[in-house]
């Protein structure tokens, strides 16, 4: 067991610092955006990808187009269908000489996810694990015991999501690598977004990757497994990946067809799909955020710039967050906006759509006060009445396993934030996060329009007070079912068990963990 060490196992393993590819303009795609940047001084190109399958296709296409480097940074890299396909594409790129750096967090790994670590056997691929457990297996009991004994360290996680090709183009947002995030799994789909970035700002995003890659908390796979994975293990992995690819292609899966057709990436590069050229600010926590929060070291905390942008709002603040467990300062921020008659509208998960019951229990404690302050509060339904704005087809939405994972803030419809940070206490204190504040009215309006689509009565519950003038009024949930208005006086839930679990969790002092 790791004990109570401040640094993870393997932190003394020798590793060579490295930085992003220095000349993106010498690549085919880099040259395109270099030329575009000359026509748009001090600006970069942006396009929001709200459709889950487009997020998968863009990654596959960017990997295929990469000529020099790929930098991959994720909280979760699943070993499900899309995760294996991305792994296969990364191997193919490395085979043709692309150098790759893969940085994965270790907090939510499950059996099978270690397949991505085997890529370290390839001479063109380096893999590091952020703040790893000492125990490398997947028995939940052993991991839980280690967490309890070393919780001060292991509770600190890298929640960043970043994908960079040739230091010329990037994807940043809320999506991890996995079927649910790309909305291709009937058992679970998450509404989420990627922001495609091309041009000068990509270098700043790469600089944040370099900072994490070279951090003392990022441990090479070799340090955790007694050396590089063997070539024999990688060869067996290649066979498994080939077999999986054949099965998926034979199935005629729509997301595979979309990736092979070339869009959205090819359309963006060719100019068929428009991009918004604008200025933007990279906001990113330092990898030593935990020490910065405690005042033990200097560094960056991304919450500050976001709070500053929110406090500057004059008429409307829109928030999309899957988990809403605000700190006292964040509650004061929202209260202050309402005191200035700023319209505040929030979309979060309902009890039916959430994948984190503990987070929902924490959120429920703040819900009534938000409504009393005049916040327009909406909770997403797991069964949508209309799929427009959901990022997926009506057929996929019909399974009734829809949830929210996007993290988006719109400031006066003039600028927006997109990234990995939830509006909860864990994102503020315990997880490292990254994102962009983009000065684009065009993209801000697009995001606000999508918010309005997803908060229609057919797709969400509007949370309100039954008797607004009463100090003891209970909450009600208004929605629309089969074209008729419905009002619930008890929180809608897909099962009694969920209600019981939330009731139990709500009495525990967990807010700082949520």
Known catalytic residues? 159, 161, 166, 405, 407, 412
481 in Cβ contact with 383 (< 8 Å):
no
CA–CA distance, 253 with 245 (Å, rounded to integer) = 11
What are the structure tokens assigned to 496, written together?
């009694």
Q: Give me the residue label for tokens 């955006």.
A: 33
According to DSSP, the residues that pair with 158 across neighbouring strands are: 432
CA–CA gap between residue 475 and residue 382 (Å, rounded): 20
**Cα separations in angstroms, 99 against 63, 177, 250, 299:** 11, 20, 31, 29
The Cα 283–Cα 119 span in angstroms is 30
Beta bridge partners of 281: 437
SS3 content of the chain, % helix, strand, coil (to 5): 40, 20, 40
Q: Looking at 350-441, which runs of residues are DSSP E strands?
A: 376-380, 402-404, 408-411, 415-419, 423-424, 431-432, 434-438
CB 202 within 8 Å of CB 274:
no
Helix axes 231-251, 81-95, angle to 10 degrees: 120
Distance CA 290, CA 125 (A): 29
Question: Measuring CA to CA, which residue among 196, 185, 237 is closest to residue 47?
Answer: 196
Decide: 431 and 174 in contact? Cβ < 8 Å: no
Distance, CA of 27 to chain centre: 28
The string of DSSP codes covering 50-83 is -SHHHHHHHHHHHHHH-SSEEEEEES-B--SHHH
Beta strands in 91-147 (DSSP E): 99-105, 125-130
Q: What whole-number distance in Å separates Cα of residue 409 and Cα of residue 334? A: 13
């Amino acid at each position: 067991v790791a004990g109570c060490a401040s640094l993870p196992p393997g932190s003394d393993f020798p590793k060579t610092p490295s930085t992003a590819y220095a000349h993106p303009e010498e690549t085919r795609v880099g040259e395109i955006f270099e030329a575009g940047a000359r026509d748009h001084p001090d600006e970069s190109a942006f396009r929001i990808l709200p459709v889950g399958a487009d997020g998968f296709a863009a990654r596959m296409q960017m990997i295929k187009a990469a000529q020099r480097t790929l930098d991959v940074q994720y909280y979760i890299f699943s070993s499900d269908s899309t995760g294996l396909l991305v792994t296969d594409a990364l191997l193919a790129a490395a085979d043709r000489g692309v150098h790759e750096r893969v940085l994965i967090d270790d907090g939510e790994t499950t059996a099978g996810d270690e397949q991505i670590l085997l890529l370290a056997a390839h001479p063109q691929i380096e893999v590091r694990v952020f703040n790893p457990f000492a125990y490398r297996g997947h028995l939940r009991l052993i991991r839980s015991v280690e967490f309890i004994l070393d919780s001060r360290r292991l509770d600190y996680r890298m929640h960043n999501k970043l994908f960079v090709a040739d230091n010329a183009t990037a994807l940043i947002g809320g999506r991890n690598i996995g079927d649910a995030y790309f909305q291709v799994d009937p058992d679970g789909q998450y509404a989420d977004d990627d922001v495609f970035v091309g041009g000068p700002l990509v270098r700043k995003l790469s600089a944040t990757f370099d900072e994490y890659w070279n951090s003392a908390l990022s441990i090479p796979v070799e340090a955790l497994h007694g050396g590089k994975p063997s070539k024999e293990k990688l060869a067996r992995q290649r066979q498994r990946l080939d077999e999986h690819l054949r099965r998926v292609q034979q199935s005629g899966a729509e997301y595979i067809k979309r990736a092979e057709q070339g869009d959205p990436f090819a359309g963006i590069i060719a100019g068929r799909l428009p991009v918004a050229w604008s200025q933007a600010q990279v906001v990113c926590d330092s990898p030593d955020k935990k020490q910065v929060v405690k005042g033990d070291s200097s560094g960056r905390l991304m919450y500050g710039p976001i709070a500053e942008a929110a406090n500057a709002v004059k008429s409307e603040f829109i928030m999309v967050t899957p988990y809403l467990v605000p700190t006292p300062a964040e509650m004061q921020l929202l209260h202050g906006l309402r005191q200035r008659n700023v319209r505040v509208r929030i979309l979060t998960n309902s009890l039916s759509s959430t994948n984190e019951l503990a987070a929902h229990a924490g959120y429920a404690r703040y819900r009534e006060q938000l409504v009393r302050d005049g916040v327009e509060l909406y909770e997403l339904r797991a069964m949508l009445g209309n799929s427009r704005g959901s990022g997926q087809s009506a057929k996929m939405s019909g399974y009734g396993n829809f949830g929210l994972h996007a993290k988006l803030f719109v400031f006066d419809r003039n600028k927006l934030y997109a990234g990995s940070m939830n509006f909860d206490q864990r994102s503020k204190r315990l997880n490292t996060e990254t994102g962009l504040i983009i000065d684009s009215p065009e993209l801000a309006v697009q995001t606000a329009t999508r918010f309005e689509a997803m908060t229609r009565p057919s797709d969400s519950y509007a949370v309100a007070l039954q008797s607004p003038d009463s100090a003891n009024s209970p909450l009600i949930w208004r929605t629309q079912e089969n074209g008729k208005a419905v009002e619930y006086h008890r929180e809608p839930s897909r099962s009694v068990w969920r209600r019981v679990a939330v009731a139990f969790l709500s009495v525990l002092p967990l807010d700082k963990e949520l």
